[in-house]
Amino acid sequence: MRVLHFFKTYWPDTFGGVERTIHAIAKGTAKYGIQSEVLSLSKTPEQNSREFDGHIAHKAKLNFEFASTGFSREVFGRFRELSEKADIVHYHFPWPVMDVVHLASRLKKPTIITYHSDIVKQRILLQLYKPLMHRFLKSVDRIVATSPNYVATSEVLQHYRAKTTVIPLGLDERDYPHPSEDVKAHWRERLPKPFFLFVGVLRYYKGVHILLEAAKQTELDIVLVGEGPMKSSLTAIAKKHRLGNVHFLGALPDTDKTALLELSTGIVFPSHLRSEAFGLSLVEAAMFGKPMISSEIGTGTSYVNVAEETGTVVPACDSTALAQAMISLASDDALAARYGDAARRRYLSMFTTGRMASSYASIYHQMLQDAAPTR
């Protein structure tokens, strides 16, 4: 079976949450006899079209970007060429250009969407896009949401519940390097006090500004790993308020990130908007058996981090509650250990790549069976 994944970006141009999910599905479903390819856009397609971890990453020329949407003339022809060879086309939503390409191609193959997120930021443009979006969503055969929480709270998905299935995102711990004792010793020396860890791209919806407000209310160390468009404004806030307990480390190699995950007291995840649809960093926390602190935003974050079971869930945008949650965990080793153990068990039962890949393989085979002509 051949599956074509289609999204606006992919490795090596970018490797964020959606891209990591595509990679995990492609890699994980290979053992079920499924050959995957990925089509995305790139400024330098001739350099970035290459084999990656057992599958081909194809590129079409990115002409320009507007409102976080990449546009390409070449992608129509590339999609037509590659989809003709595929048994199933797997879209990753949202990306409005994808809708146009799909409808223009008049595709006759089985189609599936992984619905990663509602469109949250571009609300005015969303009103113009809605007719196209619903036409696209109506035309596909299956929709996969990443948590029951998101299905329940997404106005868009309410229209398509009959063809929507939930498959949680998963991570493979074998992809994470084991840090040496020297690496961990380095970080123990650099960060001698207990600390809470944030890992993620510094974007507008990550709520790091709320975390900085919480940092004013506690002397606990807070370590942030990641780069992003909000970094300069966030570091300026930390400098202005002399937040010596906040440490911006930037992007780090996986070995260092893993060491920090192991050494941390817990993971703090203050995302406050629905753009944070799931939270793979929370899955990382669960994988390492760490207690979690997150905000209630009606998405998959509260599916990964179950309140009073694997960690604490605080009201969104409440810096005082966030600070108190960190203080409580840091002062109660038994509670932190209990949450961490429960998080690890939940990861093993629900959020492994193997479980995710098996679920997608099953749905792919069912789609082909449904599409087969009856005699």
**Got the DSSP string for 43-106?**
SSHHHH-EEETTEEEEEEE--EEETTEEE-SHHHHHHHHHHHH-SEEEEEE--HHHHHHHHHHT
Contact 373, 38 (CB under 8 A): no
> Which pLDDT does position 127 carry in this prediction?
82
3-class secondary-structure state, position 145: strand
Contact 284, 258 (CB under 8 A): no
> Which pLDDT does position 183 carry in this prediction?
98
| Domains in the chain: ranges and CATH | 2-170+353-371 (3.40.50.2000), 174-350 (3.40.50.2000)
> Which pLDDT does position 112 carry in this prediction?
98
Contact 150, 300 (CB under 8 A): yes
Which of 171, 202, 365 is closest to 287 using CA atoms?
A: 171
Q: How many helices (H) and strands (E) does the chain have?
A: 15, 16
> Which pLDDT does position 17 carry in this prediction?
85
CA separation for the pair 119, 177 (Å, rounded): 34
Q: Provide φ and ψ at 189, rounded to 5°.
A: -70, -40
> Which pLDDT does position 121 carry in this prediction?
72
Q: Which residues contact 82 (CB under 8 A, 6 or more apart)?
A: 4, 37, 39, 58
Q: Which residues contact 239 (CB under 8 A, 6 or more apart)?
A: none
Q: Which amino acid is at 278?
A: F
CA separation for the pair 250, 233 (Å, rounded): 14
Q: Are strands 35-42 and 2-6 parallel, antiparallel or unpaired?
A: parallel
> Which pLDDT does position 51 carry in this prediction?
93
CA separation for the pair 102, 89 (Å, rounded): 10
Contact 325, 344 (CB under 8 A): no
Bridge partner list, 145: 115, 166
Query: Low-confidence residues of the chain, pLDDT below 70?
Result: 122-124, 374-375
CA separation for the pair 102, 250 (Å, rounded): 38
Q: Which amino acid is at 181?
A: E
Maximum distance among all Cα pairs of the chain, rounded to whole angstroms: 74
3-class secondary-structure state, position 277: coil
- Residues in the chain, total: 375
